[in-house]
Amino acid sequence: MELDLLIRNGILLDPVNRTEKRLNLGVRQSTIAYIGEETPAAKRLIDAEGLMVSPGFVDTHMHDEELEDPGTIQQALLRQGVTTALAGNCGSGPSLERVMEKRSSPWLNLGYLTGHRALREDAGIWDVYKAATEAEIERMGEQLKKELSLGSFGLSFGLEYAPNTSPREIEALCRILADHPNRFVSIHIRHDGPECLESVAEAIGLAERFRIRVQVSHLGSMTAFGFTERSIRLIEEARARGADVTFDCYPYAAFCTFIGSTVFDPGFEERWGKGLESLEAASGKYRGKRLTPEIYEDMRKNDPKALIIAHVMNEWEIRACLRHPLCAIASDGVLHNGEGHPRAAGAFPRALRWLREEGLSWPEAVRHATVLPAEMSWLPVGRMEVGAPADLVLFSPEGLCDRATFEDQLAPPEGIAAVLVNGQIAVEDGVLSPEPRGRLLLREP
């Protein structure tokens, strides 16, 4: 049977066997149907001379909270080569029930974790400083079971954003998760800065006690204040004991979150050893301005959902995270009214560039963006083989470069020639397909 598409003359990157070979690749419907040196008949040809052909990138940690404007963040990720993503991280995110009601087709293949905060709000807890009662914990557990039966990929905590969440509350929810195979818990840990080691240990303890997979979220932004090496060692030791712990990281020495969140409660300057001048408004009326005491007060009071970029981490520690063989590249992309951190538009090309600078081969580098994150969430993607989903990214090895900056936050990267989602062209020469090519991913119960 004729192929729908043949990609000729490209260098195929195989992140499993860590090889790169000049071969042709054929697509039939949504699947890779041919890999080899022949030129079988196809309805369409793409000449990939000079290009790398990689499995599409897998982003297990992004944010897609704004149901009113889903397209912007999805398109920003797609233009980087991301073909599969998981939303609902750091404890936030809509319930899967609401997503299924409201959502049209996504621009990439998109699954959801159930956010702890959404569970709390469903149980009537709107005060992030409140500890849940027994009755509320019970209600959260029932809702979590419902979400998991609908197809949620697991549970996410943003413990730093709900600082008085009790061990009892966390354990009750983890116990439910342990009854569901192939689900995981992503944890934005309780503390960044000096107390992060205890917080990493708390996350590891959950993996060990409940025999569940725990993905420590954006390890760099929590620990790159002099604690990354020790944090990674804790994770390595836990894995040697048999604990199922993984982590992800984005390639920037600045993090981004809402000014009204607990992260910016008094005490943050001591925690990071940096003052207000290292904080930059990323959205709203002060966008682009460094904070002063007056701007801080005004934003906290009057625009708590405005995003702040905090230039507070050590880049060398972020690099140490990223190059670790266990670390998945993840964007943590988050936007508010289309504004935010450049990671939403640049994380993957930038991380791959960093990994190349660290001496990794292309197959080794894309492993951190493909099969590694895919296996972390039991997704059958990220592989270069016949029968695998035809989610692909074609890029120029010399030209691949992020262009998003703190000033021009959504500038798409350079060097991405084409992105295929479910066997169909979703981006070609920087132009998006007229219709979304992705679908909602649901975990089978």
Q: Which is nearer to Zn ion, 190 or 368 (CB)?
A: 190
Compute the least distance from the CB of residue 365 to Zn ion, in Å. Answer: 24
Q: Which is nearer to Zn ion, 72 or 186 (CB)?
A: 186
Compute the least distance from the CB of residue 218 to Zn ion, in Å. Answer: 6
Q: Which is nearer to Zn ion, 146 or 311 (CB)?
A: 311
Q: Which is nearer to Zn ion, 48 or 90 (CB)?
A: 90
Q: Which is nearer to Zn ion, 220 or 413 (CB)?
A: 220
Q: Which stretch binds Zn ion (CB under 5 A): 48-56, 137-145, 209-217, 292-300?
A: 209-217
Q: Diameter of the chain by CA atoms?
A: 68
Residue 45 phi, psi dihedral angles, 5° rounding? -115, 140
Q: Which stretch binds Zn ion (CB under 5 A): 7-15, 88-96, 111-119, 416-424?
A: 88-96
Do 322 and 329 form a contact (C-beta atoms < 8 A)? yes
By CB under 5 A, how many residues form the interface with Zn ion?
3
Q: Which stretch binds Zn ion (CB under 5 A): 211-219, 247-255, 341-349, 425-433?
A: 211-219
Q: Which is nearer to Zn ion, 54 or 221 (CB)?
A: 221
The three-state secondary structure class of 254 is coil
Q: Which is nearer to Zn ion, 188 or 323 (CB)?
A: 188
116 binds Zn ion (CB under 5 A): no
Write the CB contacts of 9 (distance below 8 Å, at least 6 apart in sequence): 22, 24, 47, 48, 49
> What is the C-alpha separation between 363 and 340, in angstroms, rounded?
31
213 binds Zn ion (CB under 5 A): no
Token pair in block for residue 36: 């080899």
**Gyration radius (Cα) of the chain, Å:** 21
Compute the least distance from the CB of residue 177 to Zn ion, in Å. Answer: 19
Q: Which stretch binds Zn ion (CB under 5 A): 75-83, 90-98, 306-314, 419-427?
A: 90-98
> What is the C-alpha separation between 125 and 397, in angstroms, rounded?
49
Helical packing angle, 167-178 and 134-150, nearest 10°: 30
The three-state secondary structure class of 263 is helix
90 binds Zn ion (CB under 5 A): yes
Do 264 and 272 form a contact (C-beta atoms < 8 A)? no
Residue with tokens 């979304």: 436
188 binds Zn ion (CB under 5 A): yes
Do 141 and 176 form a contact (C-beta atoms < 8 A)? yes
Site residues (CB under 5 A) for Zn ion, limited to 215-274 = 217
Do 209 and 180 form a contact (C-beta atoms < 8 A)? no
190 binds Zn ion (CB under 5 A): no
Residues of this chain that interact with Zn ion (CB under 5 A) are 90, 188, 217
